[in-house]
Amino acid sequence: MDSLVHTSSRLKVASLFSGCGVLDYGLTQAGHEIILQTESDDAAREVLAARFQGICQPRDAGMVEVLPADTDLLAASVVSAELEGSWRESWSKDSVASKLKQVLRLMKSSPRTPWVLIEASSALLESDGDGVPIICDLVSEFERLGYRWAHRTVAPAAFGVPDVKPRVVLVGSKHGDPRDVLLTEDAGAIAPFDAPGPDQAQAFVFNRQTDGRVRVFSDFVEGFNPAGASCVLVPGGGLTALEVHDAERLQGLPPGWTLTSRPPAIGTPVDNAPRWNALAASMGCVPAMQWIGARLANPYKLKASAESGVPFESPITVPWPPCAYNVGQGRCAAPVSPFPRATPGNAPPVLGAFVTPPSVGGHSSGSEVVTKETALDCVKALRAAGWQPPPQLIAVEVAAEAAIAAAAAAAA
C-alpha cells in the first residue's frame, strides 16, 4: 500500500461525469475544492459553466490523460448512466461499465491519488449479462491497483429528501480505512410513521419514466426521473406540472440551480427542457454527498468496528450485499442500513410537505400546461396503484375522454 497520508481537511477534487454538479456541490458544501470537471451533456455543461466558473471542464473524460498533480480525490457519478451489456461487453461509451473503466484508467495513470469516490445506482449490485455483479469486477480492479475499498447503499430520505431509493456509494483509499468514512454512522431502519390511508387527502407526484410509463408516488418517491411531463396533485388543488425547482430540491439542490439566464417576465412562455435535461444528467443527492465530504475532511476521526464484518464465502457472491468492504484481510459484508443518519425530527420527509403547492389560479407563472393525454395517464396510474382519483381529477378525465371522442367522431 502507498504510505502517502493526506493531512489537509480541504481536498482538491477531480470530478468525472459531473452532470449539473450535484455531487460537486455537495463536496464544496463540505469545504472541498473542485479543480476539474468532465461532462458531455450540453445542458448540464451550461450549468457547470455558470456555477463552477474558472474550472477546467473538458467535454469527455477520455480527453483527460492524467489527473492534476495536486488531486486528492477522484470523484465520479454514474447514477444516470445506462446499465447495458456486461463489464466485458458494454456497447456504449455512456454505459456504467464504460464510465467506470475511465475512472480506473485515471487511477492507473495517476497512481498517487489517495482517495476515490464513486456514486452509482443500486443496479451496480445486480448481476450483469455474465451473471456477475458489475461491482464485483470494479472492486477487483481496485484491489489490483492497491486500494482498500468499502461501499454501502445510501437513501436520500436519511438527509431530508423524500426519496427512499438507495444508491451505491463506494470509497477507495490508498492510505486510509474507507470503512471509517462510510460505515461509522448508521441510524437503522427508517422511522415509522402513520401514512394517510387511500380515503384521506394527500399529495401525489406523477413521474414519467424513461420507458414512457407514469409512476405515482404518494409519501415518497422511489427514484425520481427528471422529466418535464411530471405532475403534482395536492389536496383541494388541480393537477399541475411539477415545478423545475421542486425537481431540483428532490436532488438536494437549491431552487434555481439549473437556471443559467435571467428569468423571463411574468407570463412569458418558458422552455424548461434544458433545465430538465441538466437534472437528468445527474440524478444525485447533495446532502448525501455533503455528509461524505464531511467524513472525508476528517477521515480518521471515527473508527469502524472490525468485528461486525462477515467474510465472503466466495469472492464472487450473488446476490451481492448492500454493504461490503476489503481493507486487506479479504472481502466482508457488513450489516449496515441505507440510513446513515436519522431523518430530521426523527420522522421521514413526505412529498405533501415538500412540493410547492400551486398558486391561485392552479399554476405558477412559467409552469408547463398538463395535456389531456398526460392527465389521463395520471388517472390510470392512480387506479393501477389502488387509489381512487379525487373528484377534480375525475372531472379532468371525463372532459379529456369527451374531447378525444369528439375528435375521433369528427375525423370519421
pLDDT in tens, 292-316: 999 999 998 889 887 778 999 888 8
Q: Measured over all CA atoms, what is the biggest interatomic distance in the chain, rounded to whole angstroms?
A: 79
- Report the C-alpha gap between 210 and 226 in whole angstroms: 9
What are the Cα distances from residue 26, in Å, to 166, 236, 333?
A: 17, 36, 27
Block residue for cell numbers 407514469: 214
Our CA dihedral for 320, 321, 323, 325, rounded to 10 degrees, sits at -60
pLDDT in tens, 172-229: 999 899 999 999 998 887 655 555 555 455 788 999 888 888 999 988 888 888 887 7
- Report the C-alpha gap between 311 and 249 in whole angstroms: 39
Residue 314: count other Cβ atoms within 10 Å of its Cβ. Answer: 7
Region of poorest pLDDT, from 6-15, 58-67, 92-101: 6-15
According to the per-residue pLDDT averaged within each range, which of 260-269, 298-307, 339-348 is highest?
298-307
Q: Residue range 335-340: average pLDDT?
A: 92
Q: What percent of the chain has pLDDT over 90?
A: 52
pLDDT bucket at 339, cuts 50 / 70 / 90:
very high
pLDDT of residue 346: 59
Round the average pLDDT of the chain to a whole number and report it: 86
Residue 365, SS3?
coil
pLDDT bucket at 90, cuts 50 / 70 / 90:
low
- Count H helices, E strands: the chain? 10, 13
DSSP H/E element including 150: strand 148-154
pLDDT bucket at 351, cuts 50 / 70 / 90:
confident
Residue 387, burial from CB neighbour count under 10 angstroms (0-12, 13-18, 19+): middle
Query: DSSP string of 309-344?
Result: -EE-SSSS-SSPPSSEEESSS--EE----S-SSPPG
Residue 335: asked if its preceding bond is cis (omega within 30°), the reply is no
pLDDT at residue 338 greater than cutoff 60: yes
pLDDT bucket at 391, cuts 50 / 70 / 90:
confident
**Each residue of 345-360: b (16+ CB within 10 Å) or e?**
eeebbbbbebbeebee
pLDDT of residue 359: 58
